[in-house]
Copies of this chain bind each other. A is one copy, B any other.
């Protein structure tokens, strides 16, 4: 299936030369040969580029009608006749770049939609698009080349760097953002965190949440995900950190560079992640923990203790991954034994 032109920008055809330049792949083909787009192996035709990065799909490669395929040198010999190998040490990355060449992100259409509500003293960068019914608060500063989607709300004083995208219905307040930050639809950034004291009569009194949110360059926040502002210190997501949909980030959480936090995971207040930490889907971390660089937390894990750098954990409560699976296997074996027993 080629990308539907009703929904995806088309920037083809492209020459092989342009494809190789964009992707870093190499090929012996004619640099002037033209391709129309990208498609999966099973569906690609002679004018389309496909890719393979898993031996499991070698049969699909052998049957493919694709005009060209990105793959590693080790698999090049398996490309069928008529299918030009584009060699790359990182085929998935190379293919991502080729797909982006044919289907670049929509560029902002500079200007402010007449239905948007923009404060008189907000500063809007060159080339930025403010969509219909967006709201830009007093003193906000929006960098150049940003895309502010329909119904997005940028609060008073918020700063966005160049090339940010605040998409439909997202809201951001109490926040300073670097360049190329993306809030997907319905993301919530900067609202009050969950903190309160108990009065003698049992009533809750809100602890004022006096920090902000800092989103570094290239941070992405998934649809309907939430990032609360700090209570006294700030909530900080490091460069390139990506949150999937429906993730919860409590107040004062800090992450390093390139953390990956998958759908419906949650991180409680004041926990700190190092660089390149992975938190898989539906996992949860309690508050005030420290997680080291490159640690990986398995899906649905419940983390109640610090995790050293490089450690993988699993389970609820979580254990180092080998211990967790040993416990699971032990229990299954014991349960199996009881099968024939009277109880």
The interface of chain A, by Cβ under 8 A from chain B, is 1, 3-4, 6-8, 38-40, 90, 92-93, 95-97, 99-100, 103, 105, 113, 115, 117, 132-133, 135, 139, 150-151, 153, 155-157, 167-169, 171, 173-174, 184-186, 188, 191-192, 194, 196-200, 202-208, 210-212, 218, 222-224, 226, 228, 232-234, 240, 242, 244-246, 248, 250, 257-258, 262-264, 266, 268, 276, 281-282, 284, 286, 299-300, 302, 316-317, 319, 323, 326-335, 338-339, 343
Q: Are B300 and A299 in contact, with the CB atoms below 8 A?
A: no
- 16 A-B pairs with CB atoms under 8 Å apart are A1-B232, A7-B173, A38-B210, A40-B232, A90-B197, A93-B198, A93-B199, A100-B208, A135-B150, A169-B188, A185-B191, A188-B245, A223-B228, A224-B224, A264-B264, A331-B335
Looking across the interface, which residue of chain B has its beta carbon closest to that of A159?
B6
User: Hey, which chain B residues are within 8 Å of A185, CB to CB?
Assistant: 171, 188, 191
User: Hey, which chain B residues are within 8 Å of A39, CB to CB?
Assistant: 232
Looking across the interface, which residue of chain B has its beta carbon closest to that of A247?
B246
Bound form: Cα–Cα A169–B264 in Å: 21
Taken together, the copies of this chain in the complex come to 3
Question: What's the dominant secondary structure at chain A's contact region?
Answer: loop
Extra 20 A-B pairs, beta carbons < 8 Å, given A96-B207, A330-B331: A3-B210, A6-B139, A8-B174, A8-B210, A38-B232, A40-B232, A93-B199, A96-B205, A99-B210, A117-B132, A133-B133, A169-B188, A171-B185, A188-B245, A196-B242, A203-B218, A263-B268, A300-B300, A300-B302, A327-B334
Within the complex, the shortest CB–CB distance from A279 to chain B, in Å, comes to 13
Bound form: Cα–Cα A301–B286 in Å: 13
